């Protein structure tokens, strides 16, 4: 059926305004799954493509990276919002203020954990289990560590790096760089916590704390690397493996080839 349906007369040109309005409708009403709506607008209503052209273009687009990090980030923030909150104990408020933390929250979880979340106004979260398991000096070390993340807006930085790694998934070097920057931020926060709370307090906190189920700027991230720093062991600056560079080069070439194919389809559509 698609082979006999007339799409547009020879030499007909799709106006940019009509293209904008049509795709705007798809974007507004098809968030999270606009494939059916896009087919209805492009193939059935506007008749800019036939079934075969639409299928080929869709196949090319499916092979290219998209902003999936928006959905992932929304899920993570929803999980944070669903955590059971409990009143912040007065001693936690005092300790947080001494560490320079403006926004502190306590979650009703028996697992000892602490993390920083919030893109615009970072908040430090401490579990009830951490309050029980940590000594006063260890709690202070944890809060100094998370206070550094909050001051540097590490949740926003990490979200941006993760977004770049997800969107540029065909460039493995970006993923490697993102993970390396996360490790550097943990080491930097540890250095401040050690200077202000002491090495023994920081080491004790690392032994007690566990990672939350949500992939955020948690206190126990890169624990092995941080333990090496506390023990005074040498930490060599890692270099990207050759396989990462090779994969980046190959995938970049494939991505550019796919982008060229999509560009040719759009040019054929608009001319």
Residues 28, 79, single domain; the answer is no
Whether 217 has a pLDDT exceeding 60, the answer reads: no
Higher pLDDT, 226 or 267: 226
Whether 35 has a pLDDT exceeding 80, the answer reads: no
Residues 57, 85, single domain; the answer is no
Provide the residue count of the chain: 271
CA separation for the pair 140, 131 (Å, rounded): 11
CA separation for the pair 263, 193 (Å, rounded): 51
Please indicate, yes or no, if residue 2 is contained in any of the structural domains.
Answer: no
Q: What total number of domains does the chain contain?
A: 2
Please indicate, yes or no, if residue 4 is contained in any of the structural domains.
Answer: no
Residues 127, 92, single domain; the answer is yes
User: Residue 104 pairs with which residues in a beta bridge?
Assistant: 124
Residues 225, 205, single domain; the answer is yes
Higher pLDDT, 216 or 111: 111
**Mean pLDDT score across all residues of the chain:** 78
Please indicate, yes or no, if residue 7 is contained in any of the structural domains.
Answer: no
Residues 99, 198, single domain; the answer is yes
Q: Which two tokens stand for residue 238?
A: 């890692």
CA-based nearest residue to 107, from 131, 90, 91, 83: 83
Please give the model's pTM, rounded to 2 decimal places: 0.68
**228 contacts: CB under 8 Å, gap ≥ 6:** 235
The segment with the largest mean pLDDT, out of 8-12, 116-120, 224-228, 241-245, is: 241-245
Higher pLDDT, 237 or 157: 157
Residues 264, 155, single domain; the answer is no
Question: Can you tell me the mean pLDDT for 101-119?
Answer: 88
Please indicate, yes or no, if residue 204 is contained in any of the structural domains.
Answer: yes
Residues 77, 116, single domain; the answer is yes
Using the structure block, give the residue that is written with the tokens 């951490």.
Answer: 130
Give pLDDT, residue 7: 41
Give pLDDT, residue 196: 94
Residues 74, 191, single domain; the answer is yes
Residues 27, 123, single domain; the answer is no
Please indicate, yes or no, if residue 73 is contained in any of the structural domains.
Answer: yes
Full domain range(s) for residue 54: 16-62+260-270
Please indicate, yes or no, if residue 9 is contained in any of the structural domains.
Answer: no
Half-sphere exposure for 11 (CA within 13 Å, toward CB):
0
CA separation for the pair 74, 71 (Å, rounded): 5
Whether 32 has a pLDDT exceeding 60, the answer reads: no
Question: Can you tell me the mean pLDDT for 122-126?
Answer: 92
Residues 51, 118, single domain; the answer is no
Angle value at C-alpha 79, between 75 and 82, nearest 5 degrees: 135
Residue 229 burial (CB count, 10 A) = 17
Residues 57, 78, single domain; the answer is no
Q: Which two tokens stand for residue 244?
A: 């990462």
Whether 11 has a pLDDT exceeding 50, the answer reads: no
Give pLDDT, residue 261: 76
CA separation for the pair 34, 129 (Å, rounded): 43
**103 contacts: CB under 8 Å, gap ≥ 6:** 118, 121, 122, 123, 124, 150
Please indicate, yes or no, if residue 159 is contained in any of the structural domains.
Answer: yes
Please indicate, yes or no, if residue 249 is contained in any of the structural domains.
Answer: no
Note whether 8 and 15 are within 8 A (CB). Answer: no
Res. 149 pLDDT band, cuts 50 70 90? very high
Residues 170, 117, single domain; the answer is yes
């Amino acid at each position: 059926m698609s082979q006999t349906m007339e799409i547009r007369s020879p030499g007909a040109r799709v106006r940019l305004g009509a293209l904008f309005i049509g795709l705007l409708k798809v974007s507004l009403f098809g968030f999270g799954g606009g494939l059916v709506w896009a087919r209805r607008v492009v193939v059935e209503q506007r008749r800019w493509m036939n079934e075969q052209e639409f299928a080929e273009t869709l196949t090319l687009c499916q092979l290219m990276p998209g902003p999936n990090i928006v959905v992932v980030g929304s899920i993570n923030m929803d999980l944070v919002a669903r955590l059971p909150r409990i009143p912040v104990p007065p001693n936690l408020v005092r300790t947080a203020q001494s560490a320079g933390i403006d926004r502190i929250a306590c979650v009703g979880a028996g697992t000892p954990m602490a993390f920083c979340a919030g893109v615009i106004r970072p908040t430090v979260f401490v579990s009830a289990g951490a309050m029980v398991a940590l000594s006063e000096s260890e709690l202070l070390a944890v809060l100094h560590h998370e206070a550094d993340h909050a001051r540097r807006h590490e949740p926003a930085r990490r979200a941006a790096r993760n977004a770049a790694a997800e969107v540029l998934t065909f460039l493995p070097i970006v993923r490697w760089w993102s993970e390396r920057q996360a490790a550097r931020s943990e080491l930097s926060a540890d250095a401040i916590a050690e200077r202000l709370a002491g090495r023994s307090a920081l080491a004790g906190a690392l032994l007690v704390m566990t990672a939350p189920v949500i992939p955020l700027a948690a206190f126990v991230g890169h624990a092995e690397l941080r333990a090496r720093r506390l023990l005074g062991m040498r930490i060599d600056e890692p270099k990207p493996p050759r396989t990462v560079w090779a994969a980046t080069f190959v995938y970049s070439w494939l991505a550019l080839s796919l982008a060229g194919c999509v560009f040719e389809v759009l040019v054929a559509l608009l001319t």
